[in-house]
Amino acid sequence: MTGITRRVALMATAAAAVALSTVAFAQEGLPKLEKKDTYKVGFAQTESNNPWRIAQTESMKAEAEKLGYQLVYTDAAGSAAKQVADVNSMIAQGVDVIFLAPREEKPLIPAVMAAKKAGIPVILLDRNVDQSLAKAGEDYVTFIGSDFIDEGKRIAEWLVQNKPDGAKIIQLEGTTGSSPANDRKKGFDEALAGKAGFEILASQSGDFARDKGRQVAEALLQAHPDADVIYAHNDEMAMGAIAALEAAGKVPGKDVLVLSIDGGKEAVQAVVDGKIAAVVECNPRFGPKAFETLARYANGETIEAWVKNVDKFYDPTNAAAEVANAY
Ligand code: AHR
C-alpha cells in the first residue's frame, strides 16, 4: 500500500467511525426507560368519534390491564391544542413513557419536544409527525403504524385492475394536516398519475367523520353528477358517502363504486352487501405491539425508526370469510 492509499484508507475508516457514532448518538440522545416491574404509561388519544379510535383505545387499555400497568388516558376530542395540553399534563403527572397518536403532523411537535426535555420517552402510535421537524431515534423512540402511502396506492391499483376503462373520481380526504390524510392522498394520486381515463374530479376533506363525509359527498356529487367512484380515506366517510349516494337516488356499487380504508366490521359487511367495492385494512389493535416495543426499549434494544403494521385487503373475493375477524 502506498502512503497515499494508506491515508485514504485511514480517512475512510475514520469517516465510517464518525457515521456509526452519529447513529449511536442519535439513540443515546433519547430519554432512557428504566427496566421496572410496572410502569405509569400515558396514552394521548386524538378523539373517540369512530369505531377505529374506540377499538384502538380498547386494545391499549386491555394490554395495560393485562400487564398490570397504570394507564393515564386522555381524549383530545378532536383538538390538537387539547392534545398538546394533555401531553403536558402527563409530563406533570410524572408518567414513565408516553404513547402519542398525533392528530396532526405539525401541531403536536411541541408536545414531543416537551416530553423529550422532561426526560420522558415518546412512542408515536398510528399517526406520524412532520419528519422535517422531529425524528425517530432523536426526538421520539419510534413510529408504530401502517404504511399510509401504500394503503392509497393499493386501493388505486385495485381500481385500475377492476375498472380498466377509467374512472371519474371524488376523493374524501381525512383530517387536514394529519399523516394518514396526506399519505393516503399521495399514494392514491401518484398511482393514478398518467393513467389514461382516470380523473380525480374533486378532492376535499371530510375530517375522517361520517356526517362531514356525507355532507361533502352530497355537495361534490351535485357538482360532479358524472362521478362513478368515491374514494374515502376511512370507513366512516365511506359510510357517509353511501348515505349521500342513496339520498341522491344512486345505487352504491352499481352507479358509483365506493372505496375505503380501515376495514371495520361495518365496512367489510358493506363489501359483502355490494355497497363498498374494496377496503384496505388499517388495523387499530395496537396494544400488544405498543407494549412489546416499550419492553424492548426498556431492555436497552435499539428500536427501528418505524415498527410497521401489515394490513389486509378486503374485496368481494374474501370479505364474507373475513368479516368475523374485522374489528
Ligand atoms: O390514523 C388512522 C385513521 O384515523 C383511521 O383511518 C381513521 O378511521 C382514524 O380516525
- Residue 76 to residues 108, 145, 181, 263, 266, Cα–Cα distance (Å): 12, 20, 18, 24, 25
Distance from the alpha carbon of residue 21 to the mean position of ligand 1, in angstroms: 37
Domain encompassing residue 141:
40-145+284-310
State the total domains in the chain. Answer: 2
Answer yes or no: is the C-beta of 154 below 6 A from any ligand 1 atom.
no
123 and 201, same structural domain? no
155 and 137, same structural domain? no
Distance from the alpha carbon of residue 295 to the mean position of ligand 1, in angstroms: 26
Burial of 234 (0-12, 13-18, 19+ CB in 10 A): buried
269 and 188, same structural domain? yes
169 and 131, same structural domain? no
The span from the CA of 282 to the CA of 116, in Å, is 29
**pTM of the predicted structure, to 2 decimals:** 0.91
**Atom 6 of ligand 1, residue of closest alpha carbon:** 234
95 and 85, same structural domain? yes
**Domain membership flag for residue 121:** yes
Contacts of 305 (CB under 8 A, 6+ apart): 135, 136, 137, 142, 143
**Domain membership flag for residue 47:** yes
**Domain membership flag for residue 11:** no
Q: Three-state SS for 124?
A: strand
Answer yes or no: is the C-beta of 143 below 6 A from any ligand 1 atom.
no
Tens digit of each residue's pLDDT, the chain (327 residues) = 444 444 444 444 444 444 443 344 457 889 999 999 999 999 999 999 999 999 999 999 999 999 999 999 999 999 999 999 999 999 999 999 999 999 999 999 999 999 999 999 999 999 999 999 999 999 999 999 999 999 999 999 999 999 999 999 999 999 999 999 999 999 999 999 999 999 999 999 999 999 999 999 999 999 999 999 999 999 999 999 999 999 999 999 999 999 999 999 999 999 999 999 999 999 999 999 999 999 999 999 999 999 999 999 999 999 999 999 999
Domain boundary among 242, 265, 282: 282
171 and 91, same structural domain? no
131 and 193, same structural domain? no
117 and 49, same structural domain? yes
Ligand 1 atom, smallest distance to 179 CA: 1
298 and 230, same structural domain? no
Amino acid residing at 225: P
**Domain membership flag for residue 35:** no
162 and 72, same structural domain? no
94 and 181, same structural domain? no
The span from the CA of 244 to the CA of 223, in Å, is 13
Residue 237 belongs to a domain with what CATH number?
3.40.50.2300
